[in-house]
Amino acid sequence: MQVLIVHAHPEPQSFNGAMTRTAQQVLGDQGHQVTVSDLYAMNFHAASDRSNFATVADAGYFKPQAEESNASEHGGFAPELEAEIRKLEAADLLIFQFPIWWFGLPAILKGWVDRVFVMGRIYGGGRVYETGRFRGRRAMLSLTTGAPPETWVSGGRHGDIDAILRPIHRGIFQFVGYDVLRPQLSCSPARVSDEERATMLTAWRVRAAGLFAETPMEVGEY
pLDDT of residue 221: 67
For the chain, the distance separating the N- and C-terminal CA atoms, rounded to the nearest angstrom, is: 26
Q: Count Cα atoms within 13 angstroms, Cβ side, for 62.
A: 7
Pick the CATH number of 2-221 from 3.40.190.10, 3.30.365.10, 3.40.50.2030, 3.40.50.360: 3.40.50.360
pLDDT of residue 192: 87
Q: How confident is the model at residue 29 (pLDDT cuts 50, 70, 90)?
A: very high
Measured between alpha carbons, how far is residue 203 from residues 21, 27, 125, 147, 193 in Å? Answer: 14, 14, 40, 19, 15
- Which residue in 204, 209, 156, 205 sits closest to 184, CA to CA? 204
Q: What is the DSSP letter of 215?
A: P
Q: Bridge-partner residues for 145, per DSSP? A: 187
Question: Does the pTM exceed 0.85?
Answer: yes
Cα(114)–Cα(198) distance, rounded to whole angstroms? 34
Cα(62)–Cα(84) distance, rounded to whole angstroms? 22
Q: Residue 82 above 70 pLDDT? A: yes
pLDDT in tens, 151-207: 888 888 988 999 999 999 999 999 999 999 999 999 889 898 989 999 999 999 999
pLDDT in tens, 94-143: 999 999 999 999 999 999 999 999 999 999 999 999 999 999 999 999 99
Q: Residue 222 above 80 pLDDT? A: no
pLDDT of residue 102: 95
| Amino acid, res. 65 | Q
Domain boundaries defined on the chain? 2-221
Q: By the 8 A CB rule, do 6 and 37 touch?
A: yes
Q: Residue 50 above 90 pLDDT? A: yes
What's the chain's average pLDDT? 95
Ranges 27-31, 149-153, 207-211: which has the least confidence: 149-153
Per-residue pLDDT averaged across 70-79, rounded?
97
pLDDT of residue 190: 85
- Which residue in 10, 108, 118, 11 sits closest to 64, CA to CA? 118
pLDDT of residue 187: 87
Q: Residue 26 above 80 pLDDT? A: yes
